[in-house]
Amino acid sequence: MVTLTVNGVKHDLDIDPSMPLLYALRNHLQLNGAKYGCGLGQCGACTVIVDGKPVFSCLTPVSSVGSRPVRTVEGLGTPQQPSPLQQAFIDKQAAQCGYCIAGMIMRAQALLDERPGATEAEIREHMQPNLCRCGTHMRIVSAIVAASQALPKRQADNDAPALAGASRQENQA
Amino acid sequence: MSSKKKIAWTAAAVVIAGAIAACTYAWQPAIAPLAQAPAASDDRALLAMGARLAELGDCMHCHTGKSGKPYAGGAPLATPFGTIYATNITPDVETGIGGWTLEAFARALRKGVSRDGHLLYPAFPYPHFTRMSDEDIAALYAYLMARTPVHAPAVPNELVFPLNFRPLVAGWNLLFLDEGPLPPPAQQQSDAWLRGRYLAEGPGHCASCHTPMNALGAEKRGEPYAGGLIDGWDVPPLNALNQARKPWTVDQLSAYLRTGVASEHSAASGPMRPVAHHLGNAPESDVRAIATYLLSLSPAAPAQPAAPASAPAADTQILKPGKALFDASCAGCHAAAAPMRTLGERPALELGSTLNTDSPRNAIQMVLNGNPWAGSSAAHYMPPFGSVLTDRQIADVLAYARAAYAQRPAWNDLPAAVAAIRKENSK
Amino acid sequence: MNRHRDTAPAAEAVDHGRRRFLATGSLTVSFALVPGAAALAQRQTEDAAPTAAAGAARLPGNLSSTPLLDSWIRIDADGAITVYTGKAELGTGIRTAFIQIAAEELQVAPAAISLVTADTGLTPNEGYTAGSHSTADSGTAILNAAAQVRELLLASAAQKLGLEAGALEIRDGGVIAAPDGRTLDFGQAVEGLDLHRNAQPASRLVDPRRHKVIGTPMPRVDIPAKVAGGASYVQDMRLPGMLHARAVRAPSYGARLVSVDAASVEKLPGVVKVVRDGSYLAVAAEDEWQAIRAMRALTASAVWEETAVLPTPDTIYDTLLKLPAREIHVGERHGPADPAARTLHARFTKPYLAHGSIGPSCAVAHMEEGKLTVWTHAQGVFPLRGGLAEMLGMKPADIRCIHVPGAGCYGHNAADDVAADAALIARAVPGRPVRVQWMREQEHNCEPYGPAMITDVKASLDASGRVVDWQYEIWSNSHNQRIDNAGRLMPSNYLSTPFTPAPPKPIPMPEGGGDRNSLPLYNFANFNVQHHFLPDMPIRVSAHRGLGAFMNVFSIESFMDELAEAAGADPVEFRLRHLDDPRARDVIELTAKEFGWDPRRRRAPNRGVGFSFAQYKNLMSYMAIAVELEVVPETGDVHIERVVASVDTGQIVNPDGVRNQIEGGIIQSASWALYEQVRYDETRIRTYDWSTYPIMRFSDVPLKIDVHLIDRPGAPFLGAGEAAQGPTPAAIGNAIADATGRRLRDLPLAPRLRESYEA
């Protein structure tokens, strides 16, 4: 039995401990955001946030997650009530086929959580692990910049209600 | 003796030696600066030779900082004595070497003396560049003078007192600088070996990383090419190339140096990556020559393989967690039938030194950091797992890989080693 | 009520009452209703949509092949409006654009429109969503059908109210209002009105000056779900009892599966079936990770006999030049001209290019009681159905292919192949839906590529610097190996009774394949263009976005700069010197102006500017682009600093949508031109992941892109999806030449630039 805390909710899943987190999210929790792009940690379409860090869920074994909180794009907001970052993507129409976008949003969210006023140069550097084939990069950067500028520092501290109560596991043996 | 005490004692020794050397070496005359940088040469052959030497010497890697402007300096080099920042060697007159004559440039490479007479720290490996011929130094000079000038003032070094007192370097030079070209070899050697020795000992400065350092930061004379520790990575001994799972050959070593990967070994990672990147831009004959020379440093006969009897079988209960992690995180690329192996023809895990050496350091670094992309170009990419796996999990997966692939005796204290290296990296 | 069915992978049920023309197959019934119709052939365009039924040739857009109004628009008794298109949303935004078009002409709010896209059970057959035909052909059909339906509704309402139709108007919320205050909604108006009738050649279109929806940047209806994890893709489908499957692919073309240990894999947890048929091998399991593990286990034990012989990469162009060719004379012009004073010659080369879809292809299939349903992101559901029917020995009427979006495909990628996988596996486990996902390495390694090409151009200038003669040649494989038969579905080639792909057929001009955009738009007095069509395909190829346009415009526009230099002329002025078409001149002048193109600029070291222009296929959108970049000689890196483009796509439906496509096309084709080439050796394709096929990452994306739009209200829609892929690479090549003095003629440019510094 594997226990995962996803978007603030604890789930007990009877799954193979060697299953990558991506498939647990998609097939056992019916979450669509994180996507299979390569399974090799090269494209970022599967990006989710684990314990505050953006990770490739395609290469993260469910047995390794433990009590570290997992956040997916569904935990940020809904199509009807998007989060500020999601709204920025909508405002900038930052998608063409859209397949890479959920991964982009989670990678960006991790940056904004750490550095709310990140500059465009920092954003471009941070987003390097994620690929977009349609060429939507300009709008993706523009959306993240807009969200970054709109996000005051104190709001970043309040911006993780789903994690209340979940403790941060130290990276220790 | 604690390393701090060691440094204090050796610093005292250096002070005394330096004082003795003061009159002869410590204060060198300035060479008058040029008012403007010399016009870029239009001798294409000369420039091509200079470019070739710059790639062989990997100059751009140390001398390019965060700005990305080639040769504009600013990159930090961590040493046991503090951090030294590489200088701007673009032909900018004010902040680079645009005002340097060829004489000043040659003196810097041969003696470690700057144009204005101050002594350069041997983090700049002039004890190796001193081996270069006049023609090569002139070509390199021409090449650097043809670069785009960049205005980038030097970043001040952060060195432990009293090592920030440059004249002390005079004492160091007395002890450790053997100026001028290499002596002829003891016995007759092929042209390739001779060329390889010139390149490896000279511009290539391989021993700067591949020879252990003494307390004064000089290469240990008695242990040439016995390995080292740079930027948190174990630097393999080049005098033990016969101990690899499959002994190195000229073809394999050339491929490794030129392409960054050898099919019977592994991919150049960590500090070796940029070296292979730049050697890839040098002529193949030069790289083969280097490989020829380096191979001659090891005994020819293959070493005895490590005793497999004491290696735990890979399917024991204790290795189960590691196997589960391996299946999820690693097998997609590293399993024998994975496309990286069959289509990519990338080397098998069991062949590389990473899993086979006595120290797990490099394996831990690989798993923590991976092998990053280089812009948008092709790479022997590996994703990082530092944010994915905890120390315990990295220890588990490495223990499994060591048993299943290298089939060597288990590494000791892996979880502590992972934690220590992670802490080192975060500094 | 929100009627957007943008995120509904679950299929709408076929309404047999309404859509009675499908009773015996969509096309045959149409024959009966359109007297004298000849057998419907496919148009000889890349999208291969059905040709006009006789008597329907004068109808606008694809009404010509699907003339019945209720094929396109349905009004229910409760007033619900459904619009049908045979085109598919590939990520270009046409779903939203078509909603805008329909809403404008029906004079309702966009939210009132439900759009159903490509579905063999429900929609018109519009061939493939390809070649930038969607808005031009389907959008035009919808525009006119909606206008005509609106008029019919008004007429019907007028009759019910005893008034003249002209007295009525449609108000907000789809309400038909009379001056005296009486109203009817569409549901009431449609009562007794039979829309099962042919469209007319002419429509009363809304005056473009009064457009309320067309021409506005309406936000795309599918984006909110895509940013918040809504089910949006075929990959997101979850059907009850659905199995997960993986195919095991041959390591090289035509390899024979000698042996595999299927028995032990069948015993693995969750594995339901191992499908083996000759050299075709696949596995289905209850859970996706179980399927992947089973696939890995099968792969590890599979023994293949490989026989493929691939060309030597270093001499691929020599190889192609020596292949037997079918000569196609593309075009020529002869006219009086001053004598040639100078002649220039250049040869250009292009490697194989991968589509590189971020999401590898996926399909879901369900075989139930002899009927097969396939959910697919293939570009052409009707041709796919035909291919599947032949492969499975089924009747097309027993197969339904429903388009559900996938990741961007950029042409003919593996979407059809994975549908074939899903069909084959579904047949082996009848009653259970099967979801097949290709792995990254399979998509990169096995999909059809954009063909390698060679172009050769020779041109002469007269003493005054005008081009007086232009000779252009192309060597290329087919750019269109789409689903003409079952054999074009790659999995079928590995069955114990294999299917053979139909022989390649060139797409004739004016659309063209390898020769697309090969006819110069410039007013050269003399030109001749020859296409050496190479039927032998050593490496699997098919349509890649823009087809030959990418390479032909790169060649032509690079060479125009070389000629301009020889003529001592400014590149922009040189182009204008040879162009009469005012719309072409407009985009060139606008780009030059917005960029600040200065003929007298000084060349700064390692910095350059470049210009380029094309009209896609010489028929569709016009685009001019200027690029400013910096080259780092020590590394060969190219940093694109700013890009300015102007585009004329005719009447703009959604300006933001056009901008998005052009920006994206610029970045995508910059990546093709700078970095991309498929890797292979003499035995296998060696591209299998992003490290062996790197594409542009954020670090190399231009710092600034500005797109300027020229709107032509009332003019035909020209399509924006492929307008940028032609001109962008040449602008980059021209800027590199400006920065370094090096003229690069072999793609990809970045490695060639690095090599040129090492020489």
Sign of the alpha-carbon dihedral angle for C90, C92, C98, C103: positive
Reduce the DSSP state of residue A146 to 3 states and report it.
Answer: helix
**Nearest by Cα to C732 from C605, C582, C561:** C561
Partner residues linked to A9 by β-bridges? A6
- Closest CA of chain B from A17, distance in Å: 7
Is ipTM strictly over 0.85? yes
Burial group, residue C192, by CB count within 10 angstroms (0-12, 13-18, 19+): exposed
Q: Which of B377, B380, B381, B382 would best serve as a mutation to test chain C binding (most C beta carbons within 10 A)? A: B377
Q: What is the pTM of this model?
A: 0.92
**Nearest by Cα to C731 from C676, C666, C668:** C666
Neighbours of chain C (3+ CB pairs under 8 A): A, B
Rounded CA-CA distance C472/C333 in Å is 12
Q: Which residues of chain B have pLDDT under 70?
A: 1, 17-25, 303-315
Residue C758 sits at the chain B interface (C-beta within 8 Å):
yes
Q: Which of C633, C685, C695 is the closest to B376 by Cβ?
A: C695
Q: What pLDDT score does B78 carry?
A: 87
- Record: contact C296-B331, CB cut-off 8 A: yes
- Record: contact B327-A61, CB cut-off 8 A: yes
Rounded CA-CA distance C730/C610 in Å is 8
Q: Is the pLDDT of residue C681 over 60?
A: yes
- Closest CA of chain B from A78, distance in Å: 26
Residues C260-294 pLDDT 10s = 999 999 999 999 999 999 999 999 999 999 999 99
Mean pLDDT of C308-334: 97
Partner residues linked to C329 by β-bridges? C530
Put residue C251 in one of left, alpha, beta given phi > 0 → left and psi -120 to 50 → alpha: alpha
Alpha helices in C75-139 (DSSP H): 94-106
- Record: contact C634-B331, CB cut-off 8 A: no
Q: What pLDDT score does A88 carry?
A: 97
Mean pLDDT of C584-606: 94
Neighbours of chain B (3+ CB pairs under 8 A): A, C
Residues in chain A within 8 Å Cβ distance of B371: none
Q: How many Cα neighbours within 13 Å face the side chain of C78?
A: 5
3-state class percentages of chain B: helix first, strand second, coil last, to nearest 5: 45, 5, 50
Residues in chain A within 8 Å Cβ distance of C698: 124-125, 127-128, 130, 137, 141
A166 pLDDT band, cuts 50/70/90, is: very low
The label of the residue with tokens 């440039």 reads B105
Q: Which of A29, A38, A72, A133 would best serve as a mutation to test chain C binding (most C beta carbons within 10 A)? A: A133
Residue A133 sits at the chain B interface (C-beta within 8 Å):
no
**Torsion from C-alpha of B226, B230, B234, B240, nearest 10 degrees:** -20
Q: Which of A26, A42, A130 is the closest to C691 by Cβ?
A: A42
Rounded CA-CA distance C688/C684 in Å is 11
Residues C149-181 pLDDT 10s = 999 999 999 999 999 989 999 997 789 999 999
Output Rg (C-alpha) for chain B, integer angstroms.
23
Q: Please, which residues 196-255 of chain C have a Cβ atom closer than 8 Å to chain B?
A: 251
CB C58 within 8 A of CB C171: no
Structure token pair of residue C80:
């619900």
Q: Which of B273, B343, B346, B380 would best serve as a mutation to test chain C binding (most C beta carbons within 10 A)? A: B343
Burial group, residue C600, by CB count within 10 angstroms (0-12, 13-18, 19+): exposed
Structure token pair of residue B205:
């400065």
Q: What pLDDT score does B134 carry?
A: 97
Q: Which of A76, A134, A140 would best serve as a mutation to test chain C binding (most C beta carbons within 10 A)? A: A134
Residue A87 sits at the chain B interface (C-beta within 8 Å):
no
- Interface residues of chain B, partner chain C, Cβ below 8 Å: 48, 51, 60, 68, 70-71, 147-148, 281, 327, 331, 335-340, 342-345, 373, 375-381
Q: Which of A19, A50, A169 is the closest to B328 by Cβ?
A: A19
- Closest CA of chain B from C628, distance in Å: 18
Q: Which of A76, A138, A141, A142 would best serve as a mutation to test chain C binding (most C beta carbons within 10 A)? A: A138
Structure token pair of residue C271:
């594995």
Q: Is the pLDDT of residue C45 over 90?
A: no
Q: What pLDDT score does B98 carry?
A: 97
Helix (H) or strand (E) holding A22: helix A21-23
Residue A36 sits at the chain C interface (C-beta within 8 Å):
yes
In A64-122, beta strands by DSSP E = 70-71
C496 or C757, higher pLDDT? C496
- Closest CA of chain B from C331, distance in Å: 39
Residue A53 sits at the chain B interface (C-beta within 8 Å):
yes
The label of the residue with tokens 């910049």 reads A145
- Record: contact B370-A66, CB cut-off 8 A: no
Rounded CA-CA distance C69/C76 in Å is 14
Query: From residue C225, how far is each of A87, B43, C118, C543, C671 by CA, in Å?
Result: 11, 61, 20, 30, 28
Sign of the alpha-carbon dihedral angle for A161, A163, A166, A170: negative
Rounded CA-CA distance A67/A51 in Å is 9
- Record: contact B387-A54, CB cut-off 8 A: yes
Q: Is the pLDDT of residue C123 over 90?
A: yes
Partner residues linked to C434 by β-bridges? C243, C365
Q: What pLDDT score does C16 carry?
A: 40
Q: Which of C223, C235, C698 is the closest to A90 by Cβ?
A: C223
Partner residues linked to B267 by β-bridges? B261
**Nearest by Cα to C749 from C595, C601, C636:** C636
Residue B423 sits at the chain A interface (C-beta within 8 Å):
no
- Record: contact C667-A124, CB cut-off 8 A: no
- Record: contact A63-B324, CB cut-off 8 A: yes
Rounded CA-CA distance A130/C697 in Å is 8
- Closest CA of chain C from B339, distance in Å: 7
**Torsion from C-alpha of C645, C651, C657, C663, nearest 10 degrees:** -10
Rounded CA-CA distance C675/A135 in Å is 14
Task: Identify the weakest region by mean pLDDT among B9-13, C267-271, C372-376, C631-635.
Answer: B9-13
Alpha helices in B157-316 (DSSP H): 168-176, 191-201, 207-210, 250-259, 272-279, 284-295
- Record: contact A135-C698, CB cut-off 8 A: no
Q: Which of A42, A50, A62 is the closest to B381 by Cβ?
A: A42
CB A36 within 8 A of CB B363: no
Q: What pLDDT score does B306 carry?
A: 54
Q: What pLDDT score does C173 carry?
A: 74
Beta carbon pairs, A and B, within 8 Å: 74
Residues C191-201 pLDDT 10s = 999 999 999 99
Q: What pLDDT score does C10 carry?
A: 40
With a CB cutoff of 8 Å and minimum separation 6, the contacts of C604 are: none
| Chain C residue with minimum CA distance to A86 | C227
Residues in chain A within 8 Å Cβ distance of C664: 96, 134-136
Residue B319 sits at the chain A interface (C-beta within 8 Å):
no
**Torsion from C-alpha of C667, C669, C673, C677, nearest 10 degrees:** 110
Beta carbon pairs, A and C, within 8 Å: 180
- Record: contact C441-B339, CB cut-off 8 A: yes
Q: What pLDDT score does C24 carry?
A: 29
Q: What pLDDT score does B7 carry?
A: 84
- Record: contact B343-C685, CB cut-off 8 A: yes
CB C249 within 8 A of CB C445: yes
Q: Which of B48, B327, B344 is the closest to C692 by Cβ?
A: B344
Give the rounded distance of the alpha carbon of B357 from its chain centre.
19
**Torsion from C-alpha of C22, C25, C30, C35, nearest 10 degrees:** -130
Residues A35-58 pLDDT 10s = 999 999 999 999 999 999 999 999
Could you write out the DSSP letters of every residue in C660-728? HHHHHHHHHHHHHHHH----B-SSSB---SSSSS----GGGS-SEEEEEEE--TTSPB---TTTTTTHH
Residues in chain B within 8 Å Cβ distance of C634: 60, 70-71, 147
Residue A95 sits at the chain C interface (C-beta within 8 Å):
yes
- Record: contact C695-B335, CB cut-off 8 A: no
Q: What pLDDT score does C292 carry?
A: 98
- Closest CA of chain A from B327, distance in Å: 6
C36 pLDDT band, cuts 50/70/90, is: very low
Residue A67 sits at the chain B interface (C-beta within 8 Å):
no
| Chain C residue with minimum CA distance to A123 | C698
